[in-house]
Chains A and B, each alone.
Chain A
């Protein structure tokens, strides 16, 4: 099991926003960090046991067509 790290860049956004005078620059920078945060939500389990069309699933799909 792979544990996910809480993304601190999002929380530090709130702190940095209170700094004030440099607010616009911070907003621009925070846009980038949010984008990084999204990439951080990575797939945490490999797909070897993911979806694959088994005989069981094919039979289910066929039952939907009748």
Chain B
């Protein structure tokens, strides 16, 4: 059985934000104003050693969000994806505090600053509703995994920097790249 993962090859990332745009477009039916499930973080911007990385939910193996959620919203699929149920989410924000990547997002348009239902990257795998149902589209966006495809962000990455898929395949490809580059610091940094 496959474990699905993202991996960002930072040596190739040019901070074009194509992945962010691809995600917004693919999941537009579910995204409230101001929500970005994915973003590109750049360090040393404009200086020597500049590097960019595309970050969203990393679908942790032992997910901290899942451990702290008081409403038990999260569940893990057989492919190792951490998904959640918006019907039971109470918008408390604990998952955001627990997540090392700041992946959980909250709608910003609520009255009195109330947090709405949490939203995060689903690896384009939808939610607990029936695949491709209207409810799933509205709450979670697309379900490309059920279509035999991978997340739109990775499939559209122009420099093939953002990789997604079976962790074994993705890490083998990355190792090949590092070996080909052959230099010191050829992986990250």
Interface residues of A (CB under 8 A from B): 1-7, 10-11, 37-38, 40-45, 47, 49-54, 56-57, 60-61, 63-65
A40 pairs with B72, CB closer than 8 A: yes
- Closest Cβ–Cβ distance, residue A6 to chain B (whole Å): 5
Q: Is B71 touching A45 in the complex (CB atoms < 8 A)? A: no
Given contacts A50-B78, A64-B160, whether A4 and B128 have CB atoms under 8 Å apart is: yes
B17 at the binding interface (Cβ < 8 Å): no
| A40 cross-chain contacts in B, Cβ below 8 A | 72
Binary interface encoding of chain B residues 54-90 relative to chain A, with 1 for a CB under 8 A from any of its CBs, else 0: 0000000000001100111111111100000101100
Across the interface, A47 reaches (CB within 8 A) one of B79, B143, B154, B160, namely B79
Given contact pairs A4-B128, A51-B4, a sample of 14 additional A-B residue pairs in the complex whose CB atoms are under 8 Å apart: A3-B87, A6-B88, A41-B76, A42-B75, A43-B76, A43-B77, A45-B128, A49-B145, A54-B148, A57-B148, A63-B160, A64-B160, A64-B173, A65-B173
Residues of B within 8 A of A52 (CB): 148
Inter-chain CA distance A50–B129, complex, in Å, is 14
Contact with A along B101-145 (1 / 0, CB 8 A): 000000000000000000000000000111100010000000101
The docked-state distance in angstroms from the alpha carbon of A6 to that of B67 is 13
A49 lies within 8 A of B66 (CB)? no
Point out the residue from B67, B135, B143, B165 that lies within 8 Å of A57, measured CB to CB. B165
Cβ contact within 8 Å between B75 and A44:
yes
How far, in angstroms, from A12 to B179 measured CA to CA in the complex?
A: 53
For B85, what are the chain A residues with a Cβ–Cβ distance below 8 Å?
Answer: 3-4, 44
B176 beta carbon closer than 8 Å to chain A: yes
A48 to chain B, nearest CB (A): 9
Chain A hits for B78, CB < 8 A = 43, 47, 50
Contact status B72-A49, CB under 8 Å = no
Residues of A within 8 A of B155 (CB): 60
Question: Shortest distance in angstroms between B29's beta carbon and chain A's nearest beta carbon?
Answer: 17
Contact B173 A61, beta carbon cutoff 8 Å: yes
Which chain B residues lie closer than 8 Å to A43 at the CB level? Answer: 75-78
Q: Smallest distance from the beta carbon of B10 to chain A beta carbons, Å?
A: 15
> Do B79 and A49 touch (CB < 8 A)?
no
Contact B149 A56 (CB under 8 A): yes
Output the least CB separation between A38 and chain B (Å): 8
Q: Please, which residues of chain A bring their CB within 8 A of the CB of B173?
A: 61, 64-65
* Known pairs A4-B72, A4-B128, A41-B72; A51 contacts B169 (CB<8 A): no
